[in-house]
Structure 1
Amino acid sequence: MKKIGIFLVCALLFTLTSCDNEPLEDDFPENGETSCTVAVAETTQAAINFSVANVDTYTQLCTAYRNALIAQSQICGDDDGSLDLIVSGLGDCSQVVIDDCESATAIVVATQQAFDNATDANFTSFCNAYKTALENQILICGDDNDNIQSIIDSLGDCTQTTLEVEISVVAGGLREFDMVNVVVEGNLLKVTGETSGPNDYMVYFEIAMSETGVDVINPTFELTLISTFFPSTQGFEDFTSNITVNTDGTLTGTFSGTVTNADGGDLSLTSGMINITY
């Protein structure tokens, strides 16, 4: 199901290349984690408002959502380019024909963005908005092979289930990896964390049993969002980690700092937490 959601995002961005693409600002102000959390919350609320846009309110709500995305990028950063892609896809928000397939798909992308960043408090409302947008997309665009319906079915009744989030990090928004698998090979632990939401986010690292200390997971650490990032050692806010507990089926630690992808794009991580029981 996760790959279908990613396909919808990519399809939208591919079909809107004729829209005005306005790049996000490169100079991001240095704001604290609290400011970033507020910016993410405002973006998700703007996305929910946009999900119920009609002919009369489309431009206003689209513009508000677009501005919230830009503000989030300036405050939190957007090193993986995901916010910029959505802004580019929205264009100048002048398209107000709600029964157009591209507009319906744009609203799906908006509500999916909100749902991907949902918290326990707003999970149900964001999920229902995402479902409504998907149902509207089926009515307007059709649904070959029932791919969209499959996503709707996977959302169920939008009741939040209690998940044990064992790995989390703030990277342009809170990323929670609630599906964690630990493979034991001899004296080595191979840890993979994935999200149960409709995306392909993943974190991976290896560590020897009973090993603790600073930066012991760094050589094998990988974070996959839109692309795969690795620890940066360029001398500016370098990636660091600290495993404090590694015994009796429990692995606890923290991580933060800069990671970089194969193209040299940097991403700043904060508040990385590891709290695994296996």
Structure 2
Amino acid sequence: MKKLHVLFLFIMMVAVTVVSCDDEPLEGVFSVTGDGSDPSEPDPDSETCQLAFDTFVAAQAAFSSATEANYSQACGAYATAIQATIQLCGDASGTLQATLTSLGDCSTPDPCFQAEINANAALGALNNASSDNEEQLCLAYSAALEAQIEACGDASGNIQATIDALNCGGDCAAAQVATSEAREIFNAVDPLDEDAYTAACADYSMALQTQIAACGDADGSLNAIVLDLGDCSPPEQDGPVQVTIGDVFTNFNTATVSISGSLLSVIATDIDTGDTFTFDIVLQQTGDNVMQNTTLTVGGVVHTASIEATTPFVNNITANDDTTIVGTFSGTFTNPDNEEVLTAGGVINIVY
């Protein structure tokens, strides 16, 4: 009856976390034998006691996961199972009765108490684990403790300390640790350091894939991160000129400024496509529509800013000195065939 003795040990552990309420324990006569009579003396080694424990464990699992809608029913079944276990197996320490008392009248759900019950059930299962299921039960206990923190809080930090001290072992646990470490390194890397970013991203992606292989990915959340990381190319940095052309956002990565007397000539280039945005402006001149000779080259076709279109090209320059040009623009450009291309949300932030 090793299993039975472990279950008794589990019940004692439950009592440690039970907070007694002022409610009276459920009262009534619970028939536990076929003819309706009570057993004269509890026998922990009897088959009827073992059956009571099996019912107790099942009722406990249902209670710990009960929702608000079925709480009263699950609580009542759990109370009945506890009472039957007391009558058939005994309760010399009073721990079962303490749990029964804490249930009160089963009218008010107590998520914290349910989480405590679930965590202790998971610990009881772990203490009775075999080599085949020890890792799985260890991880289940860790998850139950995390749920207990969410439901009850952990002001003392003792629950988190228990989680941190767990050594579930196995490939899955090792993979989870490796993923956590790789994630911390990746989150700390400077995206502007392209080599470091690519290396950290690749390590993180590989750790995630190893965790998926070792632990599974039931909700697909880990694979979603892998897909988001993609080929680990560094994220494109904001260019000195950005604008939406039609419905396509374009980032002009670089800009050069040529100076001839007081006239500045700007060429902004999208290095991925070769498209360009160009304009001239007089040094120190700011305000509305001060940009001159503005063109947009897309796919090798030059488009000229149009001030006569239904949506005319407009611009506003707020800073223009010997180091910086800052402003906004939007509106229509036309190609040699007089076809219109609309731009929106143009931003200029050039430092030279």
Fold shared per TM-score above 0.5: no
What TM-score, normalized to structure 1? 0.41
Q: With CA pairs under 8 Å and 6+ residues apart, which has the higher RCO, 1 or 2? A: 1
Higher helix share: 2
State the TM-score, normalized to the length of structure 2: 0.33
